[in-house]
């Protein structure tokens, strides 16, 4: 695997990567330079400095993974990466403590005017009155976003004797209680906070979460901290609120454009700033660098990352249990795809028996991968883009689980609807992990889950199977196994012939001309 590291990464991480990959560290690339270089690489390792735009992603030829040494992936066009089947992963947790400590450092600096006083004193000014600060004790801290960093800030700030009010629509009352924190709605947090700190990701929902209207409902003299992402608090609105004295001061580590140029937050004495230093500690940098390197090396060895953004997180334990079902589902999807062809409108998966109790997400993705891979090329559909591609094709995906088992301890049933006609396949995994396809449409059957085969529907009459075998024999095609079954006497039969090699088109045409052969398809699983 060839890896490009395009932002500064701790040496330990670079060394770890070098233990299993060919690594180039080239920082400060311009967008054009990155576009020029990216076709040569299988993996790209970044921090917040590199913008991985759709143009970069589309210029990539063999890129399999974008690894973010850190948390925020707002500098990556994840949608474009997903469409191309590129894994985007990050390393949450590695820099949480550093980000929380930096937030608290900024809050202390803000409360006690430390940067301003320091700089004045260096310039010879001894002014104790001007830099009088405020205490945390008995004040209210409003925390917006109670995830990893928000929670660490909140719990630490309790020790200063602060009352904590937190807003996070995705955190349960129970979790807040466990942390000894009070949840409130955004308006209450903004109205009652003496200090307000934001810790959400930057999303379309959180962009400008705090704007002119939100400043209006805050207390006069409130202090604001943003060590999360530039843009969660509207920069112009914050600069104005500070200039007008509504906000007593602000501490900002992150900006909408970095490095910030012409930013309204720069140049006001009561706004203290740092150049995105939240994660810049020796410890955090080693943590995130090793975490990103390990995930990339796992992918290089054919494994799965632990923190992919655009595919379901599957533990190695789950993967070991689900692997036979995933393989079965992929083959079933491929079988249906080859039998039915493109143009289907919906795919339904029904999980029955013991598999219904398990996490079936990887199985569903495998089924889609098999279905689309046989039609669009196996290389173009992978674990990352399978579901998105199906959705983009306008195919409806339905999944359900049932306890009913119909003779098997577990079963996967796939139904593909094309022009209103439902085509169905069912498979099961036995106790010794043997995978079997046991039903195709209305026929109970036995279809091997790998190899080449001819699947034909024939009349329930004598002297059809023999001539079919003669046709194959004349083409020097060896039959490895045969399964014939019918629904009822006199009803058409399903004939599955495993063959040692692909049957050429001319021979398939001759098979279709055998009297009594209603359909015949060459399938490769």
Ligand X SMILES: O=C(O)[C@H](O)COP(=O)(O)O
Ligand Y SMILES: NC(=O)c1ccc[n+]([C@@H]2O[C@H](COP(=O)([O-])OP(=O)(O)OC[C@H]3O[C@@H](n4cnc5c(N)ncnc54)[C@H](O)[C@@H]3O)[C@@H](O)[C@H]2O)c1
What residues numbered 135-164 form the site for ligand Y, per CB under 6 A?
144-150
d(CA 221, CA 194): 8
- Return the number of other C-beta atoms located less than 10 Å from residue 306's C-beta: 16
**231 touching ligand X, by CB under 6 A:** no
Pick between residue 174 and residue 489 the one whose CB is nearest to ligand Y: 174
Residue 249 binding result from ligand Y, ligand X, none, given CB thresholds of 5 to 8 Å by partner type? none
Pick between residue 203 and residue 315 the one whose CB is nearest to ligand X: 203
**75 touching ligand Y, by CB under 6 A:** no
d(CA 395, CA 364): 14
Residue 150 binding result from ligand Y, ligand X, none, given CB thresholds of 5 to 8 Å by partner type? ligand Y
What x-and-dash track marks residues 307-346 binding ligand X by CB under 6 A?
A: ----------------------------------------
Residue 148 binding result from ligand Y, ligand X, none, given CB thresholds of 5 to 8 Å by partner type? ligand Y
d(CA 373, CA 178): 46
- Return the number of other C-beta atoms located less than 10 Å from residue 337's C-beta: 24
Q: Which of 72, 85, 231, 516 binds ligand X (CB under 6 A)?
A: 72
Contact (CB, 8 A) for 336 and 403? no
Q: Of all residues in this chain, which one has the CB nearest to ligand Y in the complex?
A: 147
Phi then psi for residue 142, to 5 deg, are: -95, 125
CA separation, residue 200 to residues 72, 221, 355, 364 (Å): 10, 23, 36, 31
Active site residues: 229, 258, 276
d(CA 262, CA 340): 59
First to last CA, the chain: 28
Residues constituting the chain: 525
Pick between residue 48 and residue 140 the one whose CB is nearest to ligand X: 48
Strand duo 517-524 + 452-458: pairing: antiparallel
**278 touching ligand X, by CB under 6 A:** yes
Radius of gyration of the chain (CA): 31
Residue 170 binding result from ligand X, ligand Y, none, given CB thresholds of 5 to 8 Å by partner type? ligand Y
Residue 383 binding result from ligand X, ligand Y, none, given CB thresholds of 5 to 8 Å by partner type? none
The alpha carbon dihedral of 235, 238, 242, 244 has a sign of: positive
Q: Which two tokens stand for residue 331?
A: 């083959």
Q: How far is the CB of 228 from ligand X (least distance, A)?
A: 8
- Return the number of other C-beta atoms located less than 10 Å from residue 407's C-beta: 9
What residues numbered 275-304 form the site for ligand Y, per CB under 6 A?
276, 278-279
d(CA 456, CA 493): 8
What x-and-dash track marks residues 32-71 binding ligand X by CB under 6 A?
A: ---------------xxx--------------------xx
**199 touching ligand X, by CB under 6 A:** no
**271 touching ligand X, by CB under 6 A:** no
Residues that bind ligand Y (CB under 6 A): 71-72, 92, 95-96, 99, 144-150, 167-171, 199-202, 205-206, 227-229, 253-254, 276, 278-279
Residues in contact with ligand X by the rule CB under 6 A: 47-49, 70-72, 95, 276, 278-280
């Amino acid at each position: 695997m060839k890896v490009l590291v395009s932002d500064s990464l701790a040496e330990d991480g670079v060394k770890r990567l070098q233990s299993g990959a060919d690594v180039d560290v080239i920082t400060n690339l311009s967008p054009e330079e990155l576009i020029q270089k990216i076709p040569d690489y299988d993996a790209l390792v970044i921090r917040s400095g590199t913008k991985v735009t759709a143009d970069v992603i589309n210029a990539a030829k063999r890129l399999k993974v974008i690894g973010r040494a850190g948390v925020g992936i707002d500098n990556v066009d994840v949608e474009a990466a997903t469409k191309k089947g590129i894994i985007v992963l990050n390393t949450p947790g590695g820099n949480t403590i550093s980000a929380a400590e930096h937030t608290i450092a900024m809050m202390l600096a803000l409360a006690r005017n430390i940067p301003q006083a320091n700089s004045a004193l260096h310039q010879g000014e001894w002014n104790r009155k001007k830099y009088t600060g405020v205490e945390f004790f008995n004040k209210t801290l409003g925390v917006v976003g109670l995830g990893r960093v928000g929670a660490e800030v909140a719990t630490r700030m309790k020790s200063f004797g602060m009352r904590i009010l937190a807003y996070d629509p995705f955190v349960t009352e129970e979790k807040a209680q466990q942390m000894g924190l009070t949840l409130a709605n955004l308006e209450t947090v903004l109205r009652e906070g003496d200090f307000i700190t934001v810790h959400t990701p930057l999303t379309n929902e959180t962009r400008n979460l705090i704007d002119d209207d939100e400043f209006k409902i805050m207390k006069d003299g409130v202090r604001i901290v943003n060590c999360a992402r530039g843009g969660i608090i509207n920069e112009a609105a914050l600069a104005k609120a500070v200039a007008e004295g509504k906000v007593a001061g602000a501490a900002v580590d992150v900006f909408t454009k970095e490095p910030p140029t012409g930013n309204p937050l720069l140049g006001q004495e009561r706004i203290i700033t740092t150049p995105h230093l939240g994660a810049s500690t020796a410890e955090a940098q080693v943590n995130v660098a090793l975490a990103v390197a390990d995930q990339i090396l796992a992918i290089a060895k054919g494994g799965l990352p632990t923190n992919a953004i655009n595919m379901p997180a599957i533990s190695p334990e789950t993967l070991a249990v689900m692997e036979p079902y995933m393989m079965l589902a992929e083959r079933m999807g491929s079988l249906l795809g080859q039998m039915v062809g493109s143009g289907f409108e919906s795919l339904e998966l029904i999980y029955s028996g013991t598999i219904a109790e398990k996490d079936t997400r990887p199985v569903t993705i495998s089924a889609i991968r098999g279905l689309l891979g046989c039609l669009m090329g196996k290389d173009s559909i992978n674990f990352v883009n399978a579901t998105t591609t199906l959705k983009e094709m306008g195919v409806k995906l339905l999944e359900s689980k049932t306890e009913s088992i119909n003779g098997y301890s577990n079963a996967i049933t796939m139904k593909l609807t094309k022009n209103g006609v439902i085509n169905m396949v069912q498979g099961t995994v036995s106790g010794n992990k043997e995978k079997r396809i046991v039903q195709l449409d209305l026929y109970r059957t036995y279809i091997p889950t790998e190899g080449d085969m001819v699947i034909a529907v024939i009349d329930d009459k004598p002297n059809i199977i023999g001539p079919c075998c003669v046709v194959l024999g004349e083409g020097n095609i060896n039959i490895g196994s045969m399964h014939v079954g019918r629904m009822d006497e006199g009803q058409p039969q399903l004939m599955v012939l495993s063959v040692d090699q692909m049957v050429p088109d001319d021979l398939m045409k001759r098979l279709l001309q055998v009297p009594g052969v209603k359909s015949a398809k060459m399938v490769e699983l």
